[in-house]
C-alpha cells in the first residue's frame, strides 16, 4: 500500500447527484475537493430520478445554473402521491412543476458545472476504509494502480444506499423492512396505456407506466415478492414481461429495454449524519421506496445544506459545531419525507380495505386544500428547519421576490449566486450597517420592494418583511417586520457566520 498524502480539505466519496452537488457547493465556498467514484465512467445508469422537484429547481436557480437543467428536460406534471397526480400549478414558485430529466442527464449537467468550478471526478477509485483522528481523516482507496491512503480534514459519504462508509462508521440504519418487490424497465411499448402517467392496482399487484419521452416508457410492477428470481438477481426482460402478464394481463407490447432494475419499499435512515469528521449525505443517510419522486431531491438538498457550512468551517469562519446543525436540520427534514413516503407505500397495499382507502385518497386529492398540503410537502417548498422561531418565514425558504436596488431590478435568488449569506434590508440602514463587522462573509443589500403580501407554500400570505438574513442555501435565519431587533440580528450572525477563532491564514490552511 502506498501512502499518498494530499492536502484536499474535503474528500467526497461518490459522484452521484448528491456528491456532485456537494462538490460544486464546496468549490463555490472556495474549498478544494477530491471527488472519488468507484465506477469507471458516468455511463447511463437508467433514468431513476426522472422528476426534479420545485425546491431543488429553485436551489439551482439560487446558484444561477437552472437554465442548464431547464434546457435538458421539459416541465412535466409527474408530481404525485402514491401515483395519484397532484396539481403543482398553484405553488408560489417560478417553477410550479417537476422537471422531466433523466438522472443520468442531471448528473451529466452537474458534472459539467463541477468541472467548470475545478473539480474533476476521480473515476475507478473506491473508498474501502477510513481512520479519523483529532486533525483529519485517512481515507483508504482502491484504484487501478493499487491501494493508497489519502488525507483530508473531512470525509463526506455520498456513496449511496449501501454506503461502505456508513457501515464502517458503525452508524445504525434503523427503519422498516421491505414488504414488496418492484421490477422496473425503461422500454418501448407498441401498445401503451392511453394516459402518460398510468397507475393501476390489480388483484396481484400494481403497475405503473410513465411516458418519459415519445416512444419511451418506464414500466414498474410491484408484487409481494420476486416470484421467479432471488432478491439480488439482475432483472431480465422476460422476468419483467412475466410480472406484467401476471399483474396486468398484458405486456403493452414491450420491447427494446434500455435499463432494467428492481427496488423495494424498505425505508431506513442513518441514526446520525455526523460522526466527528465524517458526514453522511443522500442515499447514504436514507433509503425508501421511490414513490412521489423524493430520493435524489433529498440528497441534493442535503448537499445544499451541508456545502456552505462545511466550506465555512474549513475556511476557519465557523466552529465545527456548525456541522451539528446539518444533522439537526436535514435529519429532521428527511425523517419527515420518509414518513410521507411510508404513507404512500401503505397505499400500494393490495388488501380490499387499502383499495378502498386508495379510492378515498384519489377523491380527497381533488380537493384544493388537500392538493395544496401534499404539493407543498412533496415539492420540498414547505421544509421548516427545527428550532428556528415563531415567524412563519423563519427556518423556511425565502420566496424569490423581485426587488429594486441602487444597481437596478433583481431578484432575491440572484443575490444568492455567490453562495454567501445575504443581509437584505428594505428600509433600515442600521440593519445593513450591522454587516460591517462580518464584512466579506455577509453580503449587505439595501433594497425597495413592490411590497407584499408574500405567499407561502401552504397558500397563506404574510406582509413583506422590513429586513431579513438569508443563509446561502436560501433559508431565512433572521427576520424583522418592524423596528429591527439588532441584538437578535447580531446573535444570529454570530450563530451562522461568526469566525471560530482568530488564527492566522497559515494555520487555517492546514486545518
Ligand X SMILES: Cc1cc2nc3c(=O)[nH]c(=O)nc-3n(C[C@H](O)[C@H](O)[C@H](O)COP(=O)(O)OP(=O)(O)OC[C@H]3O[C@@H](n4cnc5c(N)ncnc54)[C@H](O)[C@@H]3O)c2cc1C
Q: Where do contacts with ligand X occur on this chain (CB under 6 A)?
A: 13-19, 36-39, 48-51, 103, 126-127, 158-160, 164, 184, 261, 263, 282-283, 290, 293-297, 299
Least distance (Å) between residue 442 CB and ligand X: 31
Least distance (Å) between residue 424 CB and ligand X: 31
Please say which residue, 14 or 136, places its beta carbon nearer to ligand X: 14
Please say which residue, 17 or 96, places its beta carbon nearer to ligand X: 17
Least distance (Å) between residue 38 CB and ligand X: 4
Residues 461 and 455: beta-carbon distance below 8 Å: yes
Least distance (Å) between residue 414 CB and ligand X: 26
Q: Are strands 33-36 and 121-122 parallel, antiparallel or unpaired?
A: parallel
The number of residues making up the chain comes to 511
Least distance (Å) between residue 100 CB and ligand X: 10
3-state secondary structure of 443: strand
Please say which residue, 43 or 408, places its beta carbon nearer to ligand X: 43
CA angle 240, 245, 251 (to 5 degrees): 70
Least distance (Å) between residue 510 CB and ligand X: 26
Task: Return d(Cα 283, Cα 265) in angstroms, integer.
Answer: 14
Q: 392 exposed, middle or buried (CB, 10 Å; 0-12, 13-18, 19+)? A: middle
Least distance (Å) between residue 288 CB and ligand X: 8
Least distance (Å) between residue 291 CB and ligand X: 9
3-state secondary structure of 386: coil
Please say which residue, 339 or 404, places its beta carbon nearer to ligand X: 339
Cell numbers of 235, please?
Answer: 432483472
Please say which residue, 103 or 221, places its beta carbon nearer to ligand X: 103
Please say which residue, 382 or 498, places its beta carbon nearer to ligand X: 382
DSSP state of 394: B
Task: Return d(Cα 395, Cα 391) in angstroms, integer.
Answer: 9
Please say which residue, 150 or 248, places its beta carbon nearer to ligand X: 150
Please say which residue, 162 or 363, places its beta carbon nearer to ligand X: 162
Please say which residue, 102 or 493, places its beta carbon nearer to ligand X: 102
3-state secondary structure of 405: strand
Least distance (Å) between residue 165 CB and ligand X: 7
Please say which residue, 258 or 511, places its beta carbon nearer to ligand X: 258
Q: Residues 113-128, buried b or exposed e (16+ Cβ, 10 A)?
A: bbeeeebebebebbbe
DSSP state of 77: -
Give residues with Cβ within 8 angstroms of 128, minimum separation 6. Answer: 140, 141, 142, 147, 164
Strands (E), 158-264: 175-176, 181-189, 197-202, 205-213, 216-223, 254-264
* DSSP for 258-304, written as a single string: EEEEEEE--EEE-S-SEETTEEE-GGGTEE----SS-HHHHHHHHHH
Least distance (Å) between residue 195 CB and ligand X: 18
**Is the backbone peptide bond immediately before 226 cis, with ω within 30 degrees of 0?**
no
Task: Return d(Cα 291, Cα 288) in angstroms, integer.
Answer: 8
Amino acid at each position: 500500500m502506498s501512502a499518498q498524502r494530499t492536502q484536499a480539505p474535503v474528500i467526497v466519496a461518490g459522484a452521484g447527484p448528491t456528491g456532485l452537488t456537494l462538490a460544486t457547493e464546496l468549490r463555490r465556498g472556495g474549498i478544494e475537493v477530491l471527488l472519488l467514484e468507484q465506477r469507471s465512467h458516468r455511463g447511463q445508469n437508467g433514468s431513476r430520478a426522472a422528476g426534479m422537484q420545485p425546491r431543488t429547481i429553485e436551489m439551482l436557480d439560487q446558484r444561477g445554473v437552472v437554465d442548464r437543467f431547464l434546457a435538458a428536460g421539459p416541465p412535466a406534471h409527474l408530481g404525485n402521491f402514491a401515483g395519484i397526480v397532484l396539481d403543482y400549478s398553484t405553488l408560489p414558485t417560478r417553477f410550479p412543476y417537476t422537471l422531466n430529466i433523466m438522472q443520468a442527464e442531471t448528473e451529466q449537467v452537474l458534472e459539467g458545472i463541477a468541472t467548470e468550478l475545478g473539480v474533476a471526478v476521480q473515476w475507478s477509485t473506491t473508498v474501502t476504509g477510513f481512520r479519523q483522528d483529532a486533525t483529519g481523516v485517512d481515507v483508504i482507496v482502491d484504484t487501478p494502480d493499487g491501494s493508497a491512503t489519502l488525507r483530508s480534514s473531512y470525509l463526506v459519504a455520498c456513496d449511496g444506499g449501501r454506503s461502505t462508509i456508513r457501515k464502517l462508521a458503525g452508524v445504525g440504519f434503523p427503519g422498516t423492512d421491505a414488504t414488496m418487490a418492484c421490477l422496473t424497465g425503461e422500454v418501448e411499448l407498441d401498445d401503451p396505456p392511453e394516459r402518460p402517467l398510468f397507475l393501476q392496482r390489480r388483484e396481484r399487484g400494481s403497475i405503473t407506466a410513465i411516458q418519459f419521452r415519445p416512444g419511451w416508457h418506464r414500466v414498474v410492477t410491484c408484487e409481494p415478492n420476486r416470484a421467479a428470481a432471488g432478491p439480488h438477481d439482475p432483472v431480465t426482460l422476460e422476468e419483467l414481461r412475466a410480472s406484467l402478464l401476471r399483474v396486468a394481463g398484458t405486456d403493452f407490447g414491450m420491447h427494446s429495454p434500455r435499463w432494467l432494475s428492481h427496488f423495494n419499499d424498505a425505508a431506513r435512515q442513518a441514526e446520525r449524519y455526523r460522526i466527528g469528521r465524517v458526514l453522511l449525505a443522500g442515499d447514504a443517510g436514507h433509503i425508501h421506496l421511490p414513490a412521489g419522486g423524493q430520493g435524489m431531491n433529498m440528497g441534493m438538498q442535503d448537499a445544499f445544506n451541508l456545502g456552505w457550512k462545511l466550506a465555512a468551517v474549513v475556511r476557519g469562519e465557523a466552529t465545527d459545531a456548525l456541522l451539528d446543525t446539518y444533522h439537526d436540520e436535514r435529519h429532521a427534514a428527511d425523517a419527515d419525507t420518509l414518513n410521507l413516503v411510508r404513507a404512500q407505500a401503505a397505499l400500494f397495499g393490495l388488501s380490499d380495505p387499502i383499495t378502498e382507502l386508495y379510492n378515498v385518497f384519489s377523491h380527497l386529492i381533488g380537493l384544493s386544500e388537500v392538493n395544496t398540503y401534499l404539493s407543498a410537502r412533496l415539492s420540498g417548498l414547505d421544509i421548516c428547519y427545527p428550532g428556528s422561531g415563531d415567524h412563519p418565514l423563519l427556518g423556511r425558504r425565502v420566496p424569490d421576490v423581485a426587488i429594486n436596488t441602487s444597481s437596478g431590478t433583481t431578484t432575491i435568488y440572484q443575490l444568492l449566486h455567490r453562495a454567501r449569506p445575504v443581509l437584505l434590508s428594505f428600509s433600515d440602514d442600521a440593519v445593513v450597517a450591522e454587516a460591517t463587522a462580518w464584512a466579506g462573509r455577509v453580503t449587505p443589500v439595501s433594497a425597495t420592494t413592490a411590497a407584499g403580501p408574500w405567499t407561502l407554500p401552504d397558500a397563506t400570505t404574510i406582509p413583506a418583511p422590513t429586513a431579513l438574513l438569508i443563509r446561502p442555501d436560501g433559508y431565512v435565519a433572521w427576520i424583522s417586520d418592524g423596528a429591527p431587533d439588532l441584538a437578535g440580528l447580531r446573535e444570529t450572525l454570530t450563530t451562522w457566520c461568526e469566525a471560530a477563532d482568530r488564527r492566522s491564514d497559515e494555520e487555517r490552511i492546514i486545518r
